[in-house]
Structure 1
């Protein structure tokens, strides 16, 4: 039997937060890592640019300097607007997570993470578009076929294991027959940058539970909105709509964004088109494990490729990075074993651990998505929940998935118990 010449121990497809985090932890453990990215850095990505303490924890693990001096805007918590009320909720004080969030544009955020991976020893190749897997006679992926550079030259890379961090499109898992599950929640989000000195330096991420249109007689619009100050004179403004809403797929989301912003104070600068920077861009939010299995035939899925966006709040970066760290941990152990059944046993631990960590929580998130998709239920919940700060602090912990697993307070114990008894997705 001929010996296969491998280009790396692991090929990671996609240098987003999930892929770069995976590559970093693999390289730190001494493995040869080839990180392939189809674009060139820096590159634009559609995102709210807000990071909760879950994501901050992952950045600290990567050795990233998150100080203001390093270009990060810190925030204390979440400002919730709805039901005629405005409530500021600080991030909880926990042993498991820091008590601050961050804001940074994706234009250089992904570039920064990719550089951390390279600094740890990974080899990054940009301008390499992976078009599909290389399969052996048993149907197992043993490499990838790609197009490299402006001339789209065909190139093949080989490795015993591959990580798909190729985002919402999931081109690599699709080539393996892993289609998106239609029974899982999905959202769509649009966002735009505006020059807004009045809102740019904000200590809180701002979430709007009710969106109203001035053009339609103060009509209540579907979905939820956000305004995140960037600290550089700009704000990131956007909205999301879930597939549980009757408006999903039937609405001009870009028009809806401008309708909502027409109701904001003129001094914020978001009603003036001359303050806008760039077009309104949109992206899908794949939630609640909407592509499974997360390991099959030599390929592990991380982040959006595996539908790991939190259904409660649309957060994807933290879960991409967490799944990347877990995938690396499993791969390191698997490659220390002989090829065959023993190695596969270790790799099977990856989807099992993902299910144990997030399965029950995502199940609850799916129920939550169905409930808030009904405007009447959302209106009642906002009206009766917002006046109760203690209840809203509980909701913040639940929506942001911020609890201490042990020795937490009463809220933590209730949330942890709920996620344990909920059947995993």
Structure 2
């Protein structure tokens, strides 16, 4: 995959979110000439819970991103689970593979931090450049670049369309997955799809050391009113504000008739007055996004195009976490691109690139499949209520739960819970 004289880069990355910025960092660190095209201008907002599990923290450490409190982070010690009349505080597990703490930072600053980190490594990042589609080789149909046009701060066209060429393209273009769609890689309807909405409040709770998860949402007073669909969260950001949101997940990618913003308003009416989750303390509107799960687009690599993050449906069905997996996939993608560049023939380069979907399936396929089965169970309200009421107080079950919800277990060795989870991921068919 040597760079040709008319190529603009060794690799083009579409999108500069966590997956795109991570891919750019690792590609640049490997000595590749990297061009990142991002339609927005930083800092910019993204719909997210803003909480990072220990698995995501581990990816930041691998990259060398500063994670101290004076770098704008707040650490959390675990998950506070509320539901079924129970209130439990579960610390993140002590593992050799992952740290025993999570982090939180608003996406407006988190994404910009990763972009600047990639720039400092040597990646070229062009903001306000909207990629419009792939460039295909007329003879082979292989992706050999992209077309893009400049846009202004509102996303409106601000210049003529341009062509950028590279022997491989990493698509980290989010849930819209325009690059994948242009190649006919359709969304799979048999994979889970989540929906989430969130906003921010200024509140005395902003230094809470726990990520809080509400497994039940009530229309009025808990256990004396109607149970609402979905689950909620409260993640402290340490800057005077918290991220508050709710979501739901379906085992199939079908449109929902739930008005999530109305549902959110109903939930907030029941918030204790001392939390100050009121319109006067709300920072910005309630915004929503889809959460594509369990590799809902395949193949993850084809004809010179690699899918990373939401573009490949890499959100965990267990907890809606997507950042950790986007960063993991980006790290793997960068490695196979760098390995391909060292090969001497086109066939050898292609063989190196084809390792990407195999590695991702081996690492996450079984885990995602378990998550898909999990969603099929909990999407039934009656079953979810039984599990919440009778399962939460059981210590062994909660050890399973915290390791699944934190995305962290020892894949090799570890305790009984680790071995059972690892065994199950190998028994079930990969997603």
TM-score by length of 1: 0.97
- The answer for the alignment partner of 2:265 in structure 1 is 258
Q: Secondary structure at the match of 1:402?
A: coil
Structure 2 residue runs of 5 or longer lacking an equivalent are: 153-157
What is the number of equivalent residue pairs in this alignment?
Answer: 421
CA distance in 2, matches of 1:244, 1:184: 6
Deviation of 1:238 (Å) = 0.4
- The answer for the alignment partner of 2:155 in structure 1 is none
Deviation of 1:382 (Å) = 0.4
Q: Any residues of structure 2 matched to 1:265-304 within 5 Å, and which? A: 265-270=272-277, 272-304=278-310
Q: Secondary structure at the match of 2:48?
A: coil
The answer as to 2:340 corresponding to 1:334 is yes
1:228-274: per-residue Cα shift (whole Å, max 9, x none)?
Answer: 1111111110011112499961111001011112112111011x211
| Contact kept? 1:57, 1:98, Cα under 8 Å | yes
| Contact kept? 1:242, 1:248, Cα under 8 Å | no
Structure 1 residue runs of 5 or longer lacking an equivalent are: none
- The answer for the alignment partner of 1:350 in structure 2 is 356
- The answer for the alignment partner of 1:37 in structure 2 is 38
| Contact kept? 2:188, 2:253, Cα under 8 Å | no
CA distance in 1, matches of 2:48, 2:243: 9
1:55-97: per-residue Cα shift (whole Å, max 9, x none)?
Answer: 0011111111111111100000000000011000000000000
The answer as to 2:48 corresponding to 1:47 is yes
| Contact kept? 1:245, 1:374, Cα under 8 Å | no
- The answer for the alignment partner of 2:166 in structure 1 is 159
- The answer for the alignment partner of 1:65 in structure 2 is 66
CA distance in 2, matches of 1:164, 1:245: 24
Q: Secondary structure at the match of 1:38?
A: coil
| Contact kept? 1:241, 1:248, Cα under 8 Å | no
Q: Secondary structure at the match of 1:7?
A: coil
CA distance in 2, matches of 1:121, 1:233: 34
| Contact kept? 1:196, 1:235, Cα under 8 Å | yes
The answer as to 2:239 corresponding to 1:237 is no
Deviation of 1:338 (Å) = 2.7
TM-score by length of 2: 0.95
CA distance in 1, matches of 2:105, 2:334: 25
> What RMSD in Å do the two structures reach over aligned CA positions?
1.5
- The answer for the alignment partner of 2:175 in structure 1 is 168
